[in-house]
Structure 1
Amino acid sequence: MTVHSIRYSDLHSALQGKRLIAFDLDGTLIDSVPDLAAAVVHTLKTLELRAPSEAEVRDWVGNGAPVLVERALTWALQAPPAPALLARGYDIFMAYYGAAPHVHTTLYPGVEQALRALHQQGVTLALITNKPERFIEPLLHHFNLLTYFTLWVGGDSLDEKKPHPMPLLHAASRCQISPAECVMVGDSRHDIAAGKAAGFMTVALPYGYNHGEPIEDSHPDLVLSSLTELLMTAPHATRTA
């Protein structure tokens, strides 16, 4: 059997001179909705409330676990939940999701190849997500992505989370790289807003979670269909038997 191995020669021409690329996680690197939806359904059923479909949960993802639980409860109750109910729901959700965060979660096509190629080229990679920090390392370890990232920032790592620019500016400062030399890659308006506010170049992917809105409406600097488009291929792909 013949296997084709694509050889990457450089960054996409629009990214020349960029030294740090920060990635969102859910909806950008991984499709985590199946496991998040299972946790939401479990939470609502435990509270004896009606449960949503996976498609409905998909539109609620993107602002972190507390907001996801609040949106789910508001949908089920048709009204904002009382603080005590919200706290109980969050505890139920975190316990269930924390026990099984990657049963049905998958990598999007091209993710591992792109991260490996960028890492080999010496680009500094960071992960900036609104997911609670405790879940980041287990997920990266499960998908064998840990070695590619210099640092990661969760939604509860700092005082602010996306769309606030603080996590992005924190990553740039920790890596001693100017924001003008940085890129934010994500799938939602929160990623793009954070990137613009931090002075990063913004790159959007249309396949993730953006509350049912076209990502083009957020006016990113660049829209790509796959992470592999962050790189240019060499004139001739290598072929190995």
Structure 2
Amino acid sequence: MNHKSADAAAAGALLGRIDAVMSDLDGTLIDTLGDFVEAVNRTLADLHLPAIAPEEIALRVGKGSEHLLHSVLNWALAQSGQAPKAMQTEALFAQAWARYQHHYETINGQHATVYPGVREGLARLRARGLRLVCLTNKPQAHALALLQAKGLDDAFEAVFGGDSFARKKPDPLPLVQACAWLGTAPARTLMLGDSSNDAQAARAAGCPVVLVTYGYNHGQPVREVGADGHVDGFTQWLPH
């Protein structure tokens, strides 16, 4: 058995020891990079700032929309020859945030695709009697609309966004609060994600964690992130 197969087997072995799964959204269930690229570049155009390449946006996804936009604005100001001073960026942020929200709501899901195996995988998890919630740093309204647009909303008992709690992943608070809502012990509640944010939050909350390798993870190899298992496909670790 090669290390990848062993890694997936380790993930599968967790199934008998958990009662619920908290799943990340962007980079785990749905490839939303196209939506981010479109909304961000429409926003930058409104502000007369240079467009940013998809690979640069991919490095900035995962820590919430506010972090994404702040990071993009710093990049765009630097590219346009303007020093990204804190006061300047903050003054621009309010305008950028309003335009970004408008554009994202307009295109949410139009440039996004459900990853292979996700629908089947969620069905398999539910068939095992596991409870499922979605736990993302994306604003809750955007997450709900996206899941509905892609026909995945019925898989989850609840959807918690980056604005559902006082802090976002990688802080453990969202996981702790989601476990409290579920009424499950953290040690028996799996975090399924694609990045170091998910792993860091899970470790701090006392939850097991499995990471998919096809997501974003800020441009870094996700197999270098400590987890209870890594899987190359959403169904790789799930028995029929």
Q: Are positions 1:184 and 2:191 aligned together? A: yes
Query: Whole-Å Cα distance in 1 between the matches of residues 236 and 131 of structure 2?
Result: 17
Match of 1:4? none
Q: Deviations over 1:54-95 (max 9, x none)?
A: 121111111111111111110011224431201111111111
Query: Whole-Å Cα distance in 1 between the matches of residues 152 and 74 of structure 2?
Result: 35
- Report deviation, 1:126: 1.0
Q: Deviations over 1:121-147 (max 9, x none)?
A: 210011110000111211111111112
The residue type equivalent to 1:40 in the other structure is V
Match of 2:126? 119
The residue type equivalent to 2:62 in the other structure is G
3-state DSSP of counterpart to 2:236? helix
- Report deviation, 1:161: 0.7
Query: Whole-Å Cα distance in 1 between the matches of residues 185 and 44 of structure 2?
Result: 44
3-state DSSP of counterpart to 2:239? strand
Query: Whole-Å Cα distance in 2 between the matches of residues 187 and 84 of structure 1?
Result: 33
Match of 1:42? 42
Q: What is the 5 A alignment of 1:24-63?
A: 24-63=24-63
- Report deviation, 1:214: 1.0
3-state DSSP of counterpart to 1:211? helix
Query: Whole-Å Cα distance in 2 between the matches of residues 21 and 74 of structure 1?
Result: 36
Q: Deviations over 1:140-167 (max 9, x none)?
A: 1111111211111100111011001111
* Aligned match for 2:115, one of 85, 108, 112: 108
- Confirm or deny: 8 A CA contact 1:39 1:93 kept in the other structure: yes
3-state DSSP of counterpart to 1:141? helix
Match of 1:141? 148
Query: Whole-Å Cα distance in 2 between the matches of residues 14 and 21 of structure 1?
Result: 11
Q: Which runs of 5+ in 2 are unaligned?
A: 1-10, 79-83
- Confirm or deny: 8 A CA contact 1:151 1:171 kept in the other structure: no
Q: Deviations over 1:213-233 (max 9, x none)?
A: 111222111001111123113
- Confirm or deny: 8 A CA contact 1:114 1:230 kept in the other structure: no
Q: TM-score, normalised by structure 1?
A: 0.89
- Confirm or deny: 8 A CA contact 2:39 2:107 kept in the other structure: no
Q: Are positions 1:216 and 2:223 aligned together? A: yes
Pairwise CA RMSD: 1.2
* Aligned match for 1:150, one of 136, 151, 157: 157
Query: Whole-Å Cα distance in 2 between the matches of residues 97 and 112 of structure 1?
Result: 24
After TM superposition, the runs of 4+ consecutive aligned structure 1 residues lying more than 4 A away are none
- Confirm or deny: 8 A CA contact 2:74 2:89 kept in the other structure: no
3-state DSSP of counterpart to 1:69? helix
Match of 1:204? 211
More helix by share: 2
Query: Whole-Å Cα distance in 2 between the matches of residues 173 and 202 of structure 1?
Result: 17
- Confirm or deny: 8 A CA contact 2:25 2:136 kept in the other structure: yes
The residue type equivalent to 1:42 in the other structure is R
- Confirm or deny: 8 A CA contact 1:202 1:222 kept in the other structure: yes
Match of 1:66? 66
Query: Whole-Å Cα distance in 1 between the matches of residues 98 and 237 of structure 2?
Result: 38
Q: Are positions 1:161 and 2:168 aligned together? A: yes
Query: Whole-Å Cα distance in 2 between the matches of residues 75 and 113 of structure 1?
Result: 39
The residue type equivalent to 2:221 in the other structure is P
